[in-house]
Structure formats: C-alpha cells, structure tokens
Amino acid sequence: MTELDRDEFTAGYLIEADEHVRSAIANLLTLEQALRSGSPQHRHIRELFRSLHTLKGLSAMVGVDPIVDIAHEMETILRDAERGSTKLTVEAVEVLLEGIRAIELRTSAFAQKQAIPVAPTHLLEALAALQTSQGSARTLATSAGADKDSLVLDAQLLAKLSPPELEQLMASIAAGKHAWRIDFHPSPERSAAGFTISTVRERLSEIGEIVKVLPLSVPRDANAPGGLVFALLVLSEAPPAQLASASGTDASKLTPIALSRAAVSSDASERGSYESDPDDLVQGNRGVIRVELSRLDDALDKLAALVVTRFKLANCVNELRDRGVDVRELTTIAGEVHRQLRDLRRAITRSRMVSVGELLERVPLIVRAMSRSTGKQVRLSVDAGKAELDKAVAERVFPAIVHLVRNAVDHAIETPEERVRLGKAPEGTITVTCFEHSDAQLELRISDDGRGIDAAAISRRAGREVPTDERGILELITMPGLSTLDVATSTSGRGMGMDIVRRIAVDMLGGDLTLQTTPGRGTTFTMRLPLSISILDSFSFVCGTQAFAVPVAIVDEIIDLTLEHVVVPPAPVARARAGHTRQLAARLLKRRGEVIPLFELASLLQLEAADPARCKAFIVRSHGQPFAFSIDRVLGQQEIVVRPIEDPLVRVRGVAGTTDLGDGRPTLVLDLVGLSSVASAGAMA
C-alpha cells in the first residue's frame, strides 16, 4: 500500500474535526469571558492548543492543507500563551474565532467534496501579527509567586507540577477545599477487576476534580508488578472511603495535601474567585460516542426488514392454526418477538435524540457577533436542561431559533442609550429556555426584555387592521414578506421574515407557535414541537393538476404508459362503469407477459386526468399482487416530513398523512397499497 485510502477515514476525520471545532469555540468563548473578568483560565488555553494541534495533524493526514496552515498559526499563538511567554488578549480571541470559522468552512467543503479554499491571507497575516504583538492591555497571566514551598507535598511531585497546577491546588486548599494524593498501582488483577488508570480517573472525576496524574517509577514488588505507580492529585469533598473505593484502594492509602501556615494567611481571600469559574460551557463528554446518522438509519432499515419477517412468521402461524396444528407456544413466541421488535425500535429512535443544549451551542456565538455589529449590549441566557429532540427535528428547527434570536437582537433590544433613557439596564437580556412539555412535545421559549412589538405601526405599514389580540399580532408579523423594520439591517430584516419561523414550526413540523408581547417590556415566542417526526424518502408527482407524494419504498417501478400496453378488459368489469368518465380498474396493463390491473389515480381521487398518452404509472405490490396507478408526471425524489392526520373525520383510507413539499401548501402523502385495496373493492362492486 503506497497511499492511505483517504475516503476510508473521511467520516472519522469529520467527526473528530467537528468535536475539536466545537470544543475550541466553547473554550474561546469561556476564555473571552475570563479575560474580561480577569480570572485566569489556563486550562482553556491548554485545551485550545490541543484541539488545534490535533486538527492540524489530522488535516495533514487527509490532505486538507489550508486547515494545516491556519491551525499552525493559531497553535503557535496558543503555545506561546500556554508557556507564558506571551499573553493572550481579548483582541486575540476575536482573531482566533475567525480562524476557527475559517477552519469550519473548510471542513464542510471537504465533507461536500468541494474544492477547499486556500487559507485567507488576511487571516494568516492577522494571526502572524498576534504572535509578535501580544502582551498588551487585559492579559491572561498566571499570577506570579506560586510558592512551591508552601505546599506540603512530596518534593518529587512538586517538581513535576506546572505553575498553573500548583496555583490551582493552593488556591483551592486556601479556599477550604480538600485535596488528596491517591496512589494507584496498576496490575493485571486490578485491571481484570475493572481498575485501570482510565476507569479510576473517570470515577474520581465524577466525585472530584483531578488536578494532575503523575506516573512514578517504583521498585517492582507484589503491589506494583509493573514498577509503576500513578499519583493522582485530587480536589474532592467526598469522604475518604468513597475516594478509596473509586480508586480500588483503601482509605489508609490516601494522603491529604495541606498548605503550610504562611501561605494560608497570605493569599486566601484573593484566590477565592476560583470558585466561580465560568466553566459551564466546557464539559467533558464522558460515556458519549458520536455516530454517523446514516448508521442509525441503516439500523432502522434493517429493523423494518425484520418487521416484515415477523409478519411472515405470523402468517405462517395462522396458516398452521387453520390446518388444526397446536400453535399456542408459537403464538407466544411470535408475541414476544413483536414486543421485542417494538422495544428495539424505541431504543433506536431514542439513540437518534440529540441534546437541545448541544443544539443551542452556537447561539451564544451568533448573539456575540450580532451585538458587535449592532452596538447593542446583550446578555444571553440559555437553559435547555436535559431536554432532547430527534436529530431530524433539531436540524429543521434550528434556523427558526436562530431567526428569532437574531430578530430579538436586531429589532427588540434597544441601544444602550435608549435603554438607559427608558430606565432599563443598558444590557438587554435574551433568554432561551426549553423543557419537555409532555412525552411527545417540547416547549422552546425565546424571550427578550426589549421594546415589544408595535402592532399599530406594523399594521399601518402592511395596510391591515390593527389586531386586537396576540394571536392577531402573530398572524400579522408572520405574513409572508413582512419585515419589522423599514431599514434593512445587515443580519435580519432582509427578505426572510417571521413567516419562515411559522412555516418551520407549524407547517413543516406540525407544532405550534404563540407569542406574548408587552410594549416597552419585551416579547416571548413559544414554540411547541414534536419530539420526533417521521422522515420519508418520497417521490413527488402531479396527478390531475395537484401534487402528491408517495413513499419510495412502496414503488416497485415507474413506467411510461403506452397505449398499446393498455387493454380494455372483457365484459363484467367494463360494464360496471361503461360510459362513465370515472373508470376504476376498467383497464389492464400488459407487462412482461403478465396482465395487471391499472387504476387511473385521477379518477380514484375524483380529479381531472391529463392526456393519457403522456402518462406514467407507478407499479405497486399489495399482498404480492402487482397493481399499476397512472399519474400525470413525476416531479422528483425528496425527503419529506410526514405528519399524520389526527382528526378522525378527515382520516381516509389511502392517505398516509400530509407534508409540505416546500411551497408552504399541504400535500397529501398517498398510501397506494391501501388505495389499491379500496380500488379493487370498488372494481368488484
């Protein structure tokens, strides 16, 4: 093998690259906050450096050189900052964020197999400039003077701690936290019992914070068969017995780490700020793996095949029963299989759920960028709790969330001067909250404390009556083509109005959108969304001037309908509808030596049919029998969101649900198999 097969690693590369990009953004945002408030956050620089370093190496392997170039420059800045030779500034964070955006742009070009744009010169220059000019204004230095002698700890260990680690230990102890040294000796027996350095570290980090793990060489003996001991330095308020059992040792092996007197009295108060670390943005993803969506879809497909097999099994059981065979045990087993299949389906569906918190990860970035471009001060608070959504819903609803948040910054939140004049805090607040409303629904709220919606002004501009209630206001602002400001700003208010939000939430996802607004006080939009939706690969087609959709899976074949293949059947069926314009299976289709019933779909649906000479037909199988349905023309193949028809009054056999093909109008999704049985029953009559 002379060349690595890059395609084989593309998916893996993209998944890891995405993880590093996300982690880098979170770290940069946290870092920026830390720089403004002046509390040192060395860990974030370290993590950032690692992310970029890994991105660089991986990108080099798959041959995405522009990313290598960008990451290399960024990495250099961070390495210098990490070593303390230069200091990171707020301005530097800005350029680094730009770098991350540039990297992301290129990974997505790579994903779509497009040409990857070279690294932008202005970015590389800006990054290079940072490498020489760092060290001004607000800086992120580790406060000097971490005094090694004031920590009561083995000299061998002390020598191996970096200044930030030392400082973290000392500050935490000074603030009253408990610090421990826990020794873990790896051995084959401990490993067999589930105690390896990785599992011990994982367990300990659940009940405390690991400052450092130091490997130390020791003489080989029964307790240390590998000649190795790991000294874990841990901050934890858990009782010693719990720490010991997490690390597979006994409490007597724990050594408390203390500060010598002098240090306690000097710095305690000053260092207390460590406790309020804004670390929420950066969390470890322990026990989480990321899977390509196509693999889950594949699993669902396999499951669907299994469901068919189960039906075959049930048929066999019925046949046997009809023949008088005792099938009680078989029936029980078949029932079990049915239940297990249902559970399996649920389990797979669950694994497609993504956390809403993760979905909203990018919103702070958007708000941040917008408050810069508008000059408004905005604080964003996101509370998504543990809510989860089907990936398919999440992907579709995200643009609506972004739109609402952008609108809030752009139109709702006032400028700082205006807010002060109105007696409000200069900084506006946008809150995004989310919780599970029921087993099947999620509620998402986007609120602002801005100026509220001026319904009178909007109605005047739209030439409509002033609405009297909030429902009317919602209807007014979601009118297609309406923008809430006459001046188009750079981000919203151009083209895409609120109607898109309603279309996504209501028309596409079958959810609900409401609003509450108080002039001068703010606006809240509430979306209720289904936790999951069914996505179907479908053919869209026209029949009698109307558009319809059918699942691709049930269509055996699409054929051109030529008149010479169509035969009018002999007497009984034809007579039933003779002279009638509406023909059911009045015709048959000759195909590969077989004669199959041909239904005119337009007639079945009581629509005007097109010229039969230019028709196409779907071949569908029902109970093993082929049927043909004539249609006018096929529009295309696309993924659609099917919404079931819940109202029993409108529920019709042959109609599986409705969808939106993108034109905002509801389109019927037909169940041609169901329709074929309706039609053949009609033809027999």
H helix runs in 63-150, sequence order:
65-83, 90-111, 121-133
- At 656, is the secondary structure helix, strand, or coil? strand
Choice between 1 and 487, CB closer to another protein: 1
Choice between 230 and 274, CB closer to another protein: 230
CB of 488 to another protein, least distance (A): 44
Beta bridge partners of 223: none
Choice between 62 and 174, CB closer to another protein: 62
Choice between 231 and 631, CB closer to another protein: 231
Distance CA 24, CA 17 (A): 10
DSSP 486-527: SS--SSSSSS--THHHHIIIIIIT--EEEEEEETTTEEEEEE
CA dihedral 392, 398, 399, 405 (to 10 degrees): 170
Q: How many CB atoms lie within 10 A of CB 417?
A: 10
Choice between 75 and 448, CB closer to another protein: 75
CB of 81 to another protein, least distance (A): 16
Chain centroid offset of residue 325 CA:
52
Chain contacts with another protein (rule: CB under 8 A): 1-5, 8-9, 12-13, 16, 47, 50, 53-54, 56-58, 60-61, 63, 68, 72, 75-76, 186-188, 191, 196-198, 201, 213-215, 217, 225-228, 230
Distance CA 88, CA 77 (A): 8
CB of 127 to another protein, least distance (A): 13
Burial class of 127 by CB neighbour count within 10 A (0 to 12, 13 to 18, 19+): buried
Beta bridge partners of 628: 598, 619
Choice between 1 and 308, CB closer to another protein: 1
Choice between 160 and 591, CB closer to another protein: 160
CB of 372 to another protein, least distance (A): 32
Choice between 64 and 536, CB closer to another protein: 64
Choice between 213 and 337, CB closer to another protein: 213
H helix runs in 251-362, sequence order:
261-267, 293-322, 328-351, 356-359
Phi, psi of 617 (to 5 degrees): -140, 145
CB of 255 to another protein, least distance (A): 19
CB of 60 to another protein, least distance (A): 4
Choice between 28 and 404, CB closer to another protein: 28
Choice between 162 and 491, CB closer to another protein: 162
Burial class of 241 by CB neighbour count within 10 A (0 to 12, 13 to 18, 19+): exposed
CB of 83 to another protein, least distance (A): 13
Q: What tokens appear for 283 in the block?
A: 């969390």
Q: Is the dihedral of CA 74, 75, 77, 81 positive or negative?
A: positive
Q: What tokens appear for 432 in the block?
A: 């995004």
Q: How many residues does the chain have?
A: 685
Would you give the DSSP letter of residue 120?
P
CB of 649 to another protein, least distance (A): 54
H helix runs in 248-288, sequence order:
261-267
483 and 498 in contact (C-beta within 8 Å)? Answer: no
Q: Which residue has the tokens 């909007």?
A: 458
Choice between 226 and 385, CB closer to another protein: 226
Distance CA 196, CA 205 (A): 14
> In one letter, which amino acid is 319?
E
CB of 64 to another protein, least distance (A): 10
CB of 220 to another protein, least distance (A): 8
Cβ contacts of residue 464 below 8 Å, gap of 6+?
476, 479
Choice between 85 and 136, CB closer to another protein: 85
- At 70, is the secondary structure helix, strand, or coil? helix
499 and 519 in contact (C-beta within 8 Å)? Answer: no
* Beta-strand relationship, 534-543 and 512-518: unpaired
CB of 105 to another protein, least distance (A): 20
CB of 23 to another protein, least distance (A): 11
CB of 198 to another protein, least distance (A): 5
